[in-house]
Amino acid sequence: MISMLFVAAMITGLLAGVVAGLFGVGGGIIIVPALLFLFAHYEVNPEVIMHLAVGTSLATIVVTNISATLNHHRRGGVDWKHVIQFTPGILLGAWLGAQVAATMNGALLRLLFGCFEVAVGLQMLRGKKGGGAETSVIPGFFNPALGLVIGTISSLFGIGGGTLAVPVLNLLRGLPMIKAVGSASAMGFFLACSGALGYIQSGWGHANLPAGAFGFVLPSAFFGIVCGTLLTTPVGVRLAHTLPQSLLKRGFGVFLVLVGIRLIIK
């Protein structure tokens, strides 16, 4: 079981790595649905299946986003000023999200996750172009509060933060799309560190966990996904810096809508 789970998780990681580098989302929007399917196949207790998928996803994003951030930084794609301003709120929000998720019903958490993905995807499809001029529609002192919202929601759903941070940076803070993607990758590293620790702590000693689980993180799935993402994340980053920004933005929106619908109708 463990060996087959590792192989399946690695295949998931290969796809998630491209998505992480391309869209700055950490790969969680691929990893969480894939882990739900894999864990159900291996008969993980339904009461903890969503929590385990979310916690494991966040743990993998810690590693994935290091690779993505370094690759974006080398190409000048990270706005470190915004990363620093958002990070305090992100760290607090990620820990809070893990505590809230531990008290929620798994089916409800999955439904909310699907609705969230569709809403953000539609917003990206409707939003104005994130062009070259960096014009913000809100004052900069709101950045820590925005980080708190991004951290809480992202940790709740096991995503790297880019799903929210990219639209916020592009639509509200006025960053060009490629800068928004690179900066979201950097923010996602700090978010995933705090969120993963929160899921380990909140799931520690839970009666319904499968053998070998480390709180709400399953090591066999974690290592498989990480092996895949490390191979393909640089590919996604290269694509992000090659594709037109308008195409990148539309692709991001369509992708979120499709994944969200799949989770809602499951």
Mean per-residue pLDDT, 201-208 = 88
In which element (H, E) is residue 28 found?
Answer: helix 28-41
148-186: pLDDT as tens digits? 999 998 888 777 777 788 888 888 888 888 898 889 989
Assign 26 a pLDDT band (cuts: 50, 70, 90).
low
What is the full DSSP assignment across 114-174?
HHHHHHHHHHHHHSPP--SS---SS-GGGHHHHHHHHHHHHHHHT--SHHHHHHIIIIIS-
In which element (H, E) is residue 95 found?
Answer: helix 80-101
Mean per-residue pLDDT, 198-215 = 89
Question: What pTM was computed for the model?
Answer: 0.78
- The pLDDT value given to residue 263: 72
Q: What is the mean pLDDT of the chain?
A: 84
Res 136 pLDDT > 70: no
